[in-house]
Structure 1
């Protein structure tokens, strides 16, 4: 059960410069996520969903506001400190997999373990591949894997360090329906097994509804649909 905040975004603004003038991407976002919670994030394309996720992962610095994740203030950290924070706390699954094409499935999963100096990194990576049903594909390169298999490798890589937070940005966007359902089931299985906090960006309202709570992002602002429904 959720019991304490692990993500706190307070009055987050992000403004980018352009030839036409400033572009306001995030406009005063407030979001609190409890430890162990699964939160579905929905909203139209261009609403700021992925940017908000980048901010709470420390990949993007806000123009204004405070970002506290796993008890650490990210908005005041250096780039090196942010990289170490992500290594130790965050797993990310992207829509387009982002596997290293010259590395095998096993090597891709082992990357974060090796960067963290974990002993027996390849043994751990092999165990995680088995959990996602790919023990027989460990020596295959991404080009030899289907889209669903590549996403399972990406999920294994994201979860192998037992992160406190799992961020999934449209993880089924490049997959067919049946394969996407398999990936979603694996995501929730990993979340349940490790009590990892999960934030899931999706256009699929039914998928979002499987989470403990759904928040909607529109025009750079957050609306908590669970709270709205309660009112």
Structure 2
């Protein structure tokens, strides 16, 4: 008997209106992801990758189709209920950080815990900053931090509630190569530590190949879905 997937999308379509007529962004996405998986989603610009992530995070409502995350159907949930669900189950890392400029690193990371009414919000936030190597920078504001440091603050904020799912949309897009490698390594380390399901949206196919599964999106559809071959199987084949 297998457990239900932590992410399930069925026949997802998203059509937006424009002056030139309807624009089909997603065209019948069916996707199932198991708990603890690492999934890289790749594809050309405009293929629908980021829109798909927005739907997974409850930030965008599909025109048709069903979304079920952590056994919770999104059907009928209003914005407040979706926000509470995200707070408790989903962490999101954006390419452009989205830190609050008037708050310190510590205050930014503590936001989800404060919204949840946690009395230990700042204590836990301080530990998460330590986890990403920024314990000495917790009193600094975003403008006093480098791009890589800001992204690490954003990562700490995304995982401070220890969510079951971590969504990352081009998390290294605004960073240089070596700094981006640090961020990605920390994401995979956090995944291993907490068995977090990681969905990584990226244009970098080499980065996606670090995941156990790679999905290619083209023209709003899944064009390919490849699972990595376990090391044990590769060893068996070589014998």
Taking structure 1 as the reference length, the TM-score comes to: 0.96
**1:67 aligned residue:** 67
Does the 8 Å contact 1:126/1:135 carry over to 2? yes
Structure 2 CA distance for aligned equivalents of residues 123 and 3 of structure 1:
35
- C-alpha displacement at 1:78, in angstroms? 1.3
Note if 1:145 corresponds to 2:145.
yes
What does residue 131 of structure 1 align with? Answer: 131
Partner Cα separation in structure 1 for residue 4 and residue 211 of structure 2: 17
CA distance in 2, matches of 1:217, 1:119: 42
- Taking the aligned partners of 2:191 and 2:34, their CA distance within structure 1 comes to 14
2-structure distance, mates of 1:56, 1:76: 15
Partner of 2:118: 118
Aligned-residue offset at 1:76: 2.4
Q: Which residue does the alignment assign to 1:42?
A: 42
Shift of 1:81: 1.0
The aligned runs of 1:81-100 (5 Å cut-off) are 81-100=81-100
How far residue 60 of structure 1 moved from its aligned partner, in angstroms, is 0.6
Partner Cα distance (2:120, 2:76) in 1: 34
May I ask how many residue pairs the two structures share in their alignment? 228
Deviation string, structure 1 residues 202-221 (Cα, Å, up to 9, x no partner): 11111000001000010000
**Residue aligned with 1:153, SS:** helix
Distance in 1, Cα, partners of 2:11 & 2:76: 15
1:79 Cα deviation from its structure 2 partner? 1.3
Unaligned runs of 5+ in 2: 230-239
Answer yes or no: is 1:180 the counterpart of 2:188. no
1:119 and 1:194 map into 2 onto residues whose CA distance is 22
- Runs of 4+ more than 6 Å apart: none
Aligned counterpart, 2:18 = 18
Secondary structure at 1:85 match in 2: helix
Which residue of structure 2 aligns with residue 156 of structure 1? Answer: 156
Partner-residue secondary structure (3-state), 1:76: coil
List per-residue Cα deviations over 1:141-166 (Å, max 9, x = no partner). Answer: 00000000000000000000000100
* SS, match of residue 225 in structure 1: strand
Q: TM-score, normalised by structure 2?
A: 0.93
Alignment map for 1:99-114 (pairs within 5 Å): 99-114=99-114
**Deviation digits for residues 187-207 of structure 1 (CA, Å, limit 9, x no counterpart):** 100111000001000111110
Cα drift, residue 114 of structure 1: 0.3
Unpaired runs of 5+ in structure 1? Answer: none
Contact 1:164 1:197 in 2 (8 A): yes
Is 2:206 the counterpart of 1:206?
Answer: yes
Instruction: Indicate the SS of the match to 2:65.
Output: strand
